[in-house]
Amino acid sequence: MKYQGIIFDLDGVICSTDHYHYLAWKALADRLGIYFDETINNRLRGVSRMASLEIVLERSTVVYTEEEKAAFAEEKNNLYRELLKNMSPADLAPEVKETLDALRAEGLKLGIGSSSKNTKFILSQIGLGDFFDKISDGTNITRSKPDPEVFLKGAEYLELAPAACLVVEDAKAGIEAATAAGMDSAAIGDAVKCGLATYNLTRFADLLNCVD
């Protein structure tokens, strides 16, 4: 086996929360009178909540205080968490679950490396609350992707050397974070076009070809 563990990004890899992020940021932007669309939303992929807010506020003519920004981030997150209640095990694609089961059957340790502070809530909504061996997420990091911290912590929690881990990511910032951590990476979705990953996946099940 080339790897002893795989560290998965959550949003955009295991499941899709993009639309809920979009709806929640859009509601905030509309309330503040700031233009926001799907193209801007795409720039928020893999980016931390506060860094996302800064991107949303780029088009604002008003300069807000740090206290106001913290309140905006909380307002967005409260709406986002309400929307996440719509998620269920039906939001976990059978191909994803079957591939995860096959990777575990090969003896690989499986972890999460996500920027999200809502990771555990999302995993429980889609029926994977107890599935992963270890979780490194927005609650245990101080620096956001492309900094490697989230993946280095993930490897440490899995008790593996970084070089023994493969990262699966849908964001360019996540691929850069994996490389900075000294890990190979597999790009899926939007991250494929950056051309920086060790592997490019057409579909999630292609991952099985990367680990043999």
Residues 28-57 that bind ligand B16 (CB under 6 A): 44-49, 52
Residue 108: count of CB within 10 angstroms of its CB: 22
**Residue 117 is a binding residue for ligand B16 (CB under 6 A):** yes
Task: Sketch the per residue contact string, 152 through 191, with ligand B16: x for CB under 6 A, - otherwise.
Answer: -------------------x--------------------
Dihedral of CA atoms 92, 96, 101, 104 in degrees, nearest 10, equals: -120
The whole-angstrom separation of Cα 3 and Cα 164 is 5
The whole-angstrom separation of Cα 158 and Cα 147 is 19
Shortest distance in whole angstroms from residue 115 CB to Mg ion = 7
The whole-angstrom separation of Cα 4 and Cα 105 is 12
Q: Among all residues, which ones are annotated catalytic?
A: 9, 11
Residues 67-86 that bind ligand B16 (CB under 6 A): 77
Out of 4, 8, 12, 26, name the contact with Mg ion by CB under 5 A: 12
| Binding range to ligand B16, per CB under 6 A, among 4-12, 124-132, 177-185, 204-212 | 4-12
E strands, 101-172, are 109-113, 134-136, 165-169
**Residue 154 is a binding residue for Mg ion (CB under 5 A):** no
